[in-house]
Structure 1
């Protein structure tokens, strides 16, 4: 029923300052009453509570025109209501407020609505040239002459201006104080940056950190690009945290965390999606952090237990990684896999994107820049918004919403282990408890490994593709490299031996010797398996080999006048694997291959290694050169199918696989019961392991005279899973 029919309206909608409407009931013919009488009615309404600061208003051209108090006696409700909308508008009268910024002597005089929330007042003051409100200025509640209580930004939506205004005589006063930590504290609290993330990218319940300070750098950079993810399921999943945070995948890989996301450059997954993205980088935050007392106590308790598995319980409680540096802003991802295009002759370019924002259907328009003057309208089925107004209908509207830092999202993230926040002393104690781990393990095929008369007896070198996140000469990591080599062609008499050439502070490479009784020109398909082992400096407790408790001994030998050396490893584990390391290659060692085996005898259960060298040029055992010898030791007290001991008479496999496909294992020979100076090298084939002897010379005192094996001889094997970086 309209206002003018009978003068009866059962319900009237009252809107104050264009905010939440209130419904009230009117008596018959009450629309003909003067506004003064309606005012009395509204004063008694508990939801409206009309007072002298709240005026009647009439909407004209989408603007509210106030009605003066003295005119209320002459106007009726009927001619004040909007006849179409049947809405009564009320608006609070702006009052003159003196705004003091910091310790300024001269205030800025501004008319403000005391019923507005502080967040609304903040937006008004940002536009005022005298106040120049920015994100570092905070509202404060002055309790006495020198005491100011700051109001958290996250509380500004809940507090009206009138509650912090101070009356100095007839003057109303508002105080603002600068706090450079306002922005980063708000972002830190909102995004829980004091809390760690677990390996499923979920924030844990207990904080590991205290953020003591923060360096803020303004960026203000925008760009567009493309990326790939593994599948549509990854895009639709709520567990897509890594989609928003642009990180190098290897940054997570070194922490033992898989993002489930493919490399943007090299993904070959047929089900992968190509996504376009628009990114607005606003600021970067770099934190000064300290561990919480509870986190320190939990770590000390784990160390005291001498049980490394307790450290996993610490990560369950406090998370595995934390942010050291974060870039905030906004980012939108557009699903490129489903796209239709429409062309028409117009001068402006727009594309409608029908998308799902966390499951809510919406339309999102993106402007395209092209050399042709046609409209290229691209319609997508999906998109994802991170940061900004989640209900924006177009790119420009969404980008404008990012002017409010409270709507920023974390879009780039530099993760570090939570344990890196601890003191050096505690970190060293953790490393001592956990032992070493495999940082990288892989297998390579060399299809054209060749021998000819020009390189006879000299080693062939092989460049190692070491991941960028591994700083191979890092003293804290204390890396070592171990190798296994095999010929997929499995020539009957030829076999291979490896050693490492590792210049001081230089890049390591493999030296591969092919050992033949008589030279024969040939090419072969060589399979090389190698792994990098070092301290668990990234505190990766998800590594499969974390349970192994690996240990590496490093021993240095000067040039010797002997063909062999005995080395006491001072351990009782028979699972030992050795690797000779040269710092340089010269005429004295260029033709030498260094071999070894392990043994124990008598009542002394300590394992020892027997090391020797053989000259491929002289076809003779010779004195040892200057070199280092690295020994990988696996403790006996862990059970695993990845390592063990086996007899030479039993093969590696119970079936005959394709030689090019069988997995190489890391091997070493082991003698039990007596000291046997046998100078043999291992040859690994798909169905057996053999000890190969290089030959016998005429010298009476040469170690080559020990040709026959006696006693209990076995071989140790290690077959850890390869990493996939």
Structure 2
């Protein structure tokens, strides 16, 4: 197995309380250019190797991956499970910290980073998935399980249309009028033309699954930025309505949802569209009179003839368009080579996502409870109204009742009429003046007066 050694030279420059500034030099052995990879970073004096790993993992230059290991003073690999217990200063030997890079080992940190798997998602109007702008959570443990499989799906669609044109008289058809004029040919023709157009399409998707990523709650934790943004909203003195708007803004920034199961590998989408146009022409040409005089030295010749000609011609035009898209791997037209290219995990792509859930589910129970309280609808008001003294003519089947209830945009009105003679319909288009229409459901022969019809109504909305 190939591996490279990284050397981190740690030199104390300044000390402020618990902070220590160190000069970090990372050298790859064998390195292509001496001193090429050399950086300076700041760490806390008491930072654990686990914390150092997190910082170096986020570092745009270093990008410490899961296939990189700290070495102790005897150059033995330090187990990742022990990194939380070992301080940075405890592992410095002669101002050097050693890191071993196993380049042949899968780096799940890189897979996560390259595919934005620590970001929530939002859905567009077309139901497409879009990664959020900011990172909502961090993956703390290896979430990858190697599960290889191949499968395909296909969809076929055929569409054929026929169009027939009968007995269309066309003169000079198929000959060219200028030539006919020169040769003195007159022709009367009738045509039966059958035109059939057909379209067929086949969509085939080939999947090559290499691994499954499962993000359970014990493997992730929210980022400090996401947690702080939510905490400031739920503990603010704003109204519930204002808090809801603020949380909606947070969802735009960090995503509304996240996926707990992600399938990695490659996907090929082929879309084969074939179109065919067939035209069959039956021609009956009668009384074709040809008078041809040629004067060719040294001969003179002339002829005249009348013929009946029956002819059938078929013209067919075919077109085929093959379009494909590839996710993951390297595809140059050879399916087996494409599968082989996916042996390189750095070429994997996301081929499927499952188990979508709310982005707020990654927060602790206390914060989730507050968020649910902000978004949960409750009964804000309930009452029984008496509709007094109204009359209906025999031809009149309904009565509109105005309700003096103010509704906000997030509030709804539900009602029920306590009568076996009426049904009702609620109209809340005008939030300031909702109305209820009473519909008579029993026949009536004469004018009838109604009194004290009971309507029970409930206003539901967000708790303020």
| TM-score of the superposed pair, with normalisation by structure 2 | 0.46
Higher normalized strand content (fraction of residues): 2
**Larger radius of gyration between Structure 1 and Structure 2:** 2
| TM-score of the superposed pair, with normalisation by structure 1 | 0.30
Q: Which has the higher contact order (CA 8 A, sep 6+)?
A: 2
